[in-house]
Amino acid sequence: MIFNTIFSAQCRDKEIEYNCHLEGHIDDYYIGDNTKLRQVLINILGNAVKFTEKDGKVDFIVSKTANFDGKSTFKFIVKDTGIGISKEFLPKLFDTFSQEDSSFTNKYGSSGLGMAITKNIVKMMNGDIDVESEKGKGTTFTVTVTLLDSTRKSTDENSGELRLQDLSVLLVDDDKVACEHAKVVLEKVGIKSDFAYSGKEAIEKVKIHHARREPFKLIVIDWQMPEMDGVETARQIRSVIGNESAIIILTAYNWDDIIDEAIAAGVDSFIAKPLFASNLLDEFKEAVKKKNIKAPVANKTDLKGKRILLAEDMQVNAEIMMMVLKMRDMEVEVAENGKIAVEMFESHEPGYYDAILMDMRMPVMDGLEATGKIREMGHKDSKTIPIIALTANAFDEDVQRSLQAGLNAHLSKPVQPDVLLEILENMIPA
């Protein structure tokens, strides 16, 4: 829907609110007369924008109402809060050369194709067009057409390295309807998705997934949001995750005005509303190529000889962790609770330990309190030494508490050895 971008830009110029929603399970491709349908929708949308004044509203809603025997019926609804049409003139609206008030032409210009021609085009597609209006309150046009279902898929099965089941997406939009629609679109092609309704909420979710070492592969952010817009949200997310994820701005508006600022903030690409899976995957592939997301972002540290402080009260768990760490020739010192861990860290010179593995549930002093005391200590490296949470608590609230206490990562038990070793390689300075 490239014209969707055009009309949203026109609404912005006139200071009109514009919304576009897809309702129901709508695929990316259908078979029909694209030219005729586009003519009709452009004419109706154009009139809606033209006859709506500043601070008004235009809604464009597409819904699939039926599906049977390889055909799908759609309703295209254009609703505005413009000047409206009188009850007396409404029955004449689709008559040839009809016009309610000739003075409107001087103020608003002509009505494009004319509603008589628009209705004829809809009839040629075996469709129907209906209108409801009230003078001074607005107009609603409903176009109903039936299209053939298409066998064309929104994704290429031979897309190489891109495995949809491994592609986790965060959708960020203050419009809950848009989020739900996007989630449905992505789930239909096997993509896992989560959503946030504000920039602030998105940043918190990104931090939690980053701490768990389960990063989103793709973050799709709406440009126009209250409090924090999409560009600022992207900027703050980049400060947390670096190049860990691809970031795409989703907007119904023309993005030319913000492209330089957005790229500087770390945005990889742009995509127009409403969201279609095929478009999103194409942009994601391009972002992967440009940012080389799968490549290491930093040189990994050789772990041989690195000294780890392990705070763990369960002897069996401590022995397992020691075996894992010694596989890479690391030295390990064990503290039986958080209080002992704090004392051991404080009693050694700065730089003695290269990282701390902190169990969260321990007697005497738990991992959160111990981490807080280490971070507040006057040691030269008390604020910089990597501290990694080891816990059976995997809820988001637990991860948030870990991050607020000063932990750098949050690993759920049983800890995967390869994940732990990778974190240590990336977090311990070379």
> pLDDT tens-digit profile of 205-251?
999 888 888 889 889 999 889 999 999 999 999 998 888 888 988 88
Q: How confident is the model at residue 285 (pLDDT cuts 50, 70, 90)?
A: confident
- 231 or 274: whose pLDDT is higher? 231
pLDDT at 163: 59
Exposure string for 27-50, b = 16+ CB within 10 A, e = fewer: bbebebeeeebebbbbbbbbbbbb
Question: Which residues make beta-bridge pairs with 74?
Answer: 64, 145
Rounded to whole angstroms, how far apart are CA atoms 3 and 262? 23
Q: How confident is the model at residue 111 (pLDDT cuts 50, 70, 90)?
A: very low
Rounded to whole angstroms, how far apart are CA atoms 181 and 22? 7
Residue 21 has pLDDT above 80, yes or no: yes
3-state secondary structure of 268: coil
Q: Classify 124 in phi/psi space as left (phi over 0), alpha (psi -120 to 50) or beta.
A: alpha
87-92 long-range contacts, CB within 8 A, separation 24+: 87/134, 87/135, 90/131, 90/133
Answer yes or no: are the C-beta atoms of 62 and 21 closer than 8 Å: yes
Contacts of 282 (CB under 8 A, 6+ apart): none
Closest CA to 247 of 275, 229, 266, 228: 266
Closest CA to 314 of 336, 292, 294: 336
Per residue in 136-147, pLDDT (tens digit) is: 999 999 999 999
Contacts of 175 (CB under 8 A, 6+ apart): 19, 222
By 3-state DSSP, what share of the chain in percent is helix, strand and coil, each rounded to 5?
40, 25, 40
Residue 160 has pLDDT above 70, yes or no: no
Q: In what order do the strands lie in the sheet with 355-359?
A: 331-335, 307-311, 355-359, 387-391, 409-412
Tokens coding 33: 């007369």
Per residue in 68-109, pLDDT (tens digit) is: 889 999 999 999 999 998 888 888 888 765 555 555 444 544
Q: How confident is the model at residue 11 (pLDDT cuts 50, 70, 90)?
A: confident
